[in-house]
A and B are shown apart, each in its own frame.
Chain A
Amino acid sequence: MTVPSKPSLPLAALLSLIPLAPALAHTGSGVAVGLQSGLLHPITGPDHLVAMVAVGLWGAQLGAPAIWVLPITFPLVMAIGGLIGLAGVPLPLVEPVVALSGLALGLLIALHVRPPLWVAAVVVGVFAIFHGYAHGRELPGAADPTAYAVGFVVATGLLHLVGILIGVMVAWPAGARLVRACGAAIGCVGLYFLLASVGVLS
């Protein structure tokens, strides 16, 4: 038997690891499907995604105690928004307010606005209700409601963490400017989605 040349063997082994059949890892498991859809829900909506990163960024920019008050209270207030959605209470302008959250938080970061903690908590809390409402509406239809809720809460929390980790750069002058630039970029994304949600952009 002729053994193939040495470099081709690891390459062949590597290529053979690419599954030819689809990996149906979620077959018959509501937990996995629910978890997956929950994790992806905040991440696949750029308007949600930038707003959640902005919460962490703003918390880091404001410093203690906002850096930990906002990420701890946000999921709890978001749950209240989810309950409102579950109860079938109509909440007007959900998508525009979600987009507005990105624009507003982005501007607050870009302009380095430092309100009292309770004002910051109220601003973030109002937006949290609308984000929770948007996620909570999907809950009854989820393959596994608990897994779906775990997925989107964890994804939301990790997006806050991303914002906090980026926001740690405020300790350096150049980093503080970069954080403000991130805020401006988030504001632009929020503005785009706000205009799209009210029909100005298609």
Chain B
Amino acid sequence: MRTKARLLAAATVAAALAAPTAAHAHLVDTRLGDFYGGALHPLTELDQLLPWVALAALAAFQGARRARWVIVAFPLALLAGGAAALLLPAPPFGPILGIGLVAATGLALAAAARLPLPVLIGLSTVMGLLHGLQNGQGLPASTDRLLFLAGATAAGYAVMTLATGGALAFLRGVGGWRPIALRATGSWVAAVGIMVLGLQFAAPATAG
């Protein structure tokens, strides 16, 4: 009993020392290493994370057999885009294309569109290439680019696989509200994409 009380006292002291510090949410400067830096980079970019999740849900609407292609095509394109970033500069149309993909993927999801397989793979490839290209830009000279891009690709693979699998399992559950819930999420993504796309045209300096 006495030992338990001492443990509690130690925990109190530890909590008192740890709790009052200010919490900094952004994870860029946490010295996690280049691999984890690369993995976190797209996860802290809503411009990338949003269309990834929308694409995964859209893939789930196409059925498991077709959705598997997205899980293969998207990470490979992400890796190829990252590798291309070592040689090529960022395309000037990148931000507009990126937001356009958010709007297009969201609209397709809101409509629960049945896409031909080449269109689905093409959409995954264009998105992967663009985001890979964007992830590989502007890295400090001290960053190990190979590790950074490997981390970004691993994050892309993990998010796409988990989100697609999750959406497929969700759609297989009981209740007609499930596809409606996913479609409503698609309309949210589309609304964000349409407005931010509008902002790109209305005030490129602000949005860019």
Contacts and interface: CB of A to CB of B under 8 A. Distances in A.
Contacts of B5: 3, 6, 9
Contact of B196 (A32, A35, A149): A149
A16 interface: yes
A3 B196 contact: no
Contact of B199 (A18, A21, A26, A139): A139
Nearest to A12: B12
A190 to B, nearest CB: 23
Given A3-B6, A72-B183, A153-B191, A147 B11 contact: no
B67 interface: no
Interface in A21-36: 21-29, 31-32, 35
B26 A68 contact: no
Contacts of A23: 22-23
Interface stretch (A42-50, A82-90, A180-188): A82-90
Given A140-B203, A150-B50, A87 B183 contact: no
B192 A153 contact: yes
A72 B6 CA distance: 56
A145 B110 contact: no
B8 interface: yes
Given A86-B199, A86-B202, A153-B192, A21 B207 contact: no
A167 interface: no
Nearest to A11: B12
B198 interface: yes
B8 A76 contact: no
A201 interface: no
Interface of A is mostly: helix
Contact of B190 (A10, A24, A71, A75): A75
A43 to B, nearest CB: 16
Contact of B184 (A18, A68, A83): A68
Contacts of A12: 12
Interface string A66-102: 0010011111101110110011100000000000000
Name the residue among B187, B192, B195, B199 with the largest chain A CB count within 10 angstroms: B195
Interface in B16-30: 16, 19-26
A136 interface: yes
Contacts of A10: 8
A13 interface: yes
B46 interface: yes
Interface string A164-178: 000000000000000
A126 interface: no
B207 A145 contact: yes
A86 B188 contact: no
Contacts of B15: 13, 16-17
Contacts of A87: 198, 202
Contacts of A68: 177, 180, 183-184
Contacts of B207: 140, 145
Given A3-B2, A31-B44, A145 B196 contact: yes
A146 B47 contact: yes
A150 B192 contact: yes
A119 interface: no
B194 A80 contact: yes
B19 A79 contact: no
Nearest to A154: B188
Interface in B43-91: 44-47, 50
19 contacts: A9-B9, A12-B12, A19-B20, A20-B20, A23-B23, A24-B22, A26-B25, A27-B22, A27-B24, A31-B44, A32-B25, A79-B191, A79-B195, A86-B198, A140-B207, A145-B196, A150-B50, A153-B192, A157-B184
Closest 7 CB pairs of A and B: A75-B191, A79-B191, A16-B16, A29-B26, A79-B194, A20-B20, A9-B8
